[in-house]
Structure 1
């Protein structure tokens, strides 16, 4: 029996603006994830009763997204009641971690068929709303990183200063993200990987007319004079335009053992060459992608030069920019279809959104090796290498 985990199907919803009135904002998160589950089994022809588990990422597990949304989505999709579901939270990398857990479970012989995915409706369950008035970190964390941890936008400002990126460079990167995403839609590149539950056409977050000049008019989004004593002078370069927008969306990957794929008569589309997760400085939390990338390449016995296409989540423009500088990667191989600045960042769904886009990019370009990595709040980061088959 061959327990090598393989990807046989991948799909994502188009992105909706994560605010009231957005294209997906009238949907319940469980129903949106259910749309993805249904699409995966319909496309593959797999009996949903054969799914051993559904592992879904979701970050803001409160309100409508509480109560183990993976299991709720299984039931909403009409899957048999014996199909279980579990929800994981590794912040922005939650669904990428779901893929790791699913693939590792298959390799261990614990599963034959698993769906890994994620969902976030930021329009209906706002970021941080699960905390209420409570401190999620506690006094010991505050004492260790006195006077406490900071929000990601401020971390982006710190890194922009430390790496010497100008406001113009950040805006240029953001404009290019929108240009690439708009061009991919225009050329039909996203057609196979997407469904549009909201009835819209394309990702609502993509702004084809974005220019550096327009981005230059936006004010800083995270300016906070109260931090100057702690960190010194900051130029406040990070704006809504060079950051990922609040987004609604869901995505999913259907994984199987090679033996199960053969039994179902399905063609494996990709296999995994390496997985990694690391911890890093939780204040400068966005740069964990650098050691994560080095770790996964080492485990896969590959070099940066071996990889054909990279997906690095654009939580903020500074993130892929510092990553590319540290690893000496040219921008032609980095987020060739645009990234989260244009395509959106529906927190719990972003990991499998990146993997879905990466798989289709490899297939459409005829290339072989892809690597994706995600920065995550608290200073962790995931990285994965896949090989198109």
Structure 2
């Protein structure tokens, strides 16, 4: 059997909307369907040639239940022959969808696949168990509760991380302000323009008001006001609403193909995969698995930290990229160069696909070659992906 290489052919995303904001009227199946349609139209492929659509989604209940990926495929107007599946690796779901698509291509199961992600946190709010101060008991059976009474929601865990790695409130706030500043600069410079799907505020009016940019980015960050916010998860804590990711709506999609098939069909391979790894770590502190998954990815790829041109570390909380930076010695000018989820927003299931879309386009814009992306996930798992621009 000949060796196959998975490549990214194209990648698009919606602007990210604030919860209750610009995208809140969109049913999540239609939001993802609109994004899938845009990807196919832009790439020029026949939708019927897509072997599978793999979509990440975290809150798989209410409007996002019953395999939302399949509903999105039908909403996009793809042929009924195109299958779809929904995956959940918590915040890394969109990134995991990309890995599954690429692995399917490399295995010979697919020639063309779409990896995607979607979340409408307006229409499908986070369950009560994930909110500040919540008891996680209802999620678990009696035996697990008996064995692991220390399990908690991610917010309180962020305070454990802050303490263990010595991350100060001042550092968290400064990083968060920088996220907004960098995302605003990227927006004004048009760095996101080529990846954004044209979309209107009203899903029933294609000629209506367009949503031109990510909605959560602040034009002015008041440092004094930020410093005055009360901690959310502990009275003496450091995590606040301002140095945490935003609850958001959004979708993203990437076209993954076998390199030879892409060339045969007149498609341009834009990046190849150097590593796709997952790891598990402490389910109480929850965020440290990104360190282990990154070490695994560097080992698999044969690369060193110094070989990576750009790092994207999801800003679930500002302490996560700061922990990563501290551990690996990543320079400021390589880390989240166009901002992250603190500023742009974090529609859970789509963030991994959104970040990889951003990373691909930024590698191309800046003429750099190798990018690493990692995402922490609830209860101590993580994904890391390394891509190389072609």
TM-score of the aligned structures, taking structure 2 as reference length = 0.94
Alignment map for 1:44-55 (pairs within 5 Å): 44-55=43-54
Q: Which runs of 5+ in 1 are unaligned?
A: 225-234
Take 2:137 and 2:30, find their aligned partners in 1: how far apart are those partners? Answer: 29
Alignment map for 1:263-278 (pairs within 5 Å): 263-278=264-279
Identify the residue that residue 246 of structure 2 maps to in structure 1: 245
Alpha-carbon deviations, 1:83-108, whole Å to 9, x = none? 00000000000010111110000000
Take 2:298 and 2:70, find their aligned partners in 1: how far apart are those partners? Answer: 34
Take 1:213 and 1:293, find their aligned partners in 2: how far apart are those partners? Answer: 35
Identify the residue that residue 176 of structure 1 maps to in structure 2: 178
- The alpha carbon displacement at 1:139 in A equals 2.5
Q: Is 2:51–2:83's contact at 8 Å kept on the other side of the alignment?
A: yes
Take 2:56 and 2:371, find their aligned partners in 1: how far apart are those partners? Answer: 21
Take 2:238 and 2:282, find their aligned partners in 1: how far apart are those partners? Answer: 21
- The alpha carbon displacement at 1:128 in A equals 2.2
Identify the residue that residue 361 of structure 2 maps to in structure 1: 360
**Aligned-partner SS, 1:192:** helix
Take 1:315 and 1:212, find their aligned partners in 2: how far apart are those partners? Answer: 20
Of 200, 205, 214, the residue aligned with 2:225 is 214
Take 2:282 and 2:129, find their aligned partners in 1: how far apart are those partners? Answer: 24
- The alpha carbon displacement at 1:264 in A equals 1.5
Change (3 A) 1:76 1:130: farther
Q: Does 1:351 align with 2:362?
A: no
Alpha-carbon deviations, 1:301-350, whole Å to 9, x = none? 10000000000000000000001101111111000000110011000000
Change (3 A) 1:196 1:217: farther
Q: Is 1:141–1:148's contact at 8 Å kept on the other side of the alignment?
A: no
Identify the residue that residue 157 of structure 2 maps to in structure 1: 155
Q: Is 1:60–1:130's contact at 8 Å kept on the other side of the alignment?
A: no
Take 2:379 and 2:10, find their aligned partners in 1: how far apart are those partners? Answer: 31
Q: Is 2:136–2:152's contact at 8 Å kept on the other side of the alignment?
A: no
Identify the residue that residue 96 of structure 2 maps to in structure 1: 97
- The alpha carbon displacement at 1:263 in A equals 2.1
Identify the residue that residue 203 of structure 1 maps to in structure 2: 214
Change (3 A) 1:266 1:129: farther
Take 2:226 and 2:192, find their aligned partners in 1: how far apart are those partners? Answer: 25
TM-score of the aligned structures, taking structure 1 as reference length = 0.94
Alpha-carbon deviations, 1:203-245, whole Å to 9, x = none? 1010020132221122212227xxxxxxxxxx31100100001
Take 1:127 and 1:188, find their aligned partners in 2: how far apart are those partners? Answer: 32
Take 1:128 and 1:333, find their aligned partners in 2: how far apart are those partners? Answer: 35
Take 1:196 and 1:45, find their aligned partners in 2: how far apart are those partners? Answer: 17
Alpha-carbon deviations, 1:264-320, whole Å to 9, x = none? 101100000001000111110012111111110000010000000000000000000
Take 1:25 and 1:286, find their aligned partners in 2: how far apart are those partners? Answer: 29
Take 1:292 and 1:24, find their aligned partners in 2: how far apart are those partners? Answer: 33
Q: Is 1:93–1:375's contact at 8 Å kept on the other side of the alignment?
A: yes
Change (3 A) 1:129 1:102: farther
Of 174, 185, 191, the residue aligned with 1:189 is 191
Farther-moved stretch of structure 1 (353-362 vs 124-133):
124-133
Identify the residue that residue 140 of structure 2 maps to in structure 1: 137
**Aligned-partner SS, 1:195:** coil
Q: Is 2:129–2:153's contact at 8 Å kept on the other side of the alignment?
A: no
Take 2:237 and 2:136, find their aligned partners in 1: how far apart are those partners? Answer: 27
- The alpha carbon displacement at 1:80 in A equals 0.1
Q: Is 1:168–1:212's contact at 8 Å kept on the other side of the alignment?
A: no
Q: Is 1:2–1:258's contact at 8 Å kept on the other side of the alignment?
A: no
Alignment map for 1:50-69 (pairs within 5 Å): 50-69=49-68
Alignment map for 1:237-386 (pairs within 5 Å): 237-386=238-387
Q: Does 1:115 align with 2:139?
A: no
Q: Is 1:4–1:106's contact at 8 Å kept on the other side of the alignment?
A: yes
- The alpha carbon displacement at 1:130 in A equals 9.6
Change (3 A) 1:130 1:112: farther
Aligned residues: 376
Q: Which runs of 5+ in 2 are unaligned?
A: 202-209
Take 1:104 and 1:211, find their aligned partners in 2: how far apart are those partners? Answer: 45
**Aligned-partner SS, 1:140:** helix
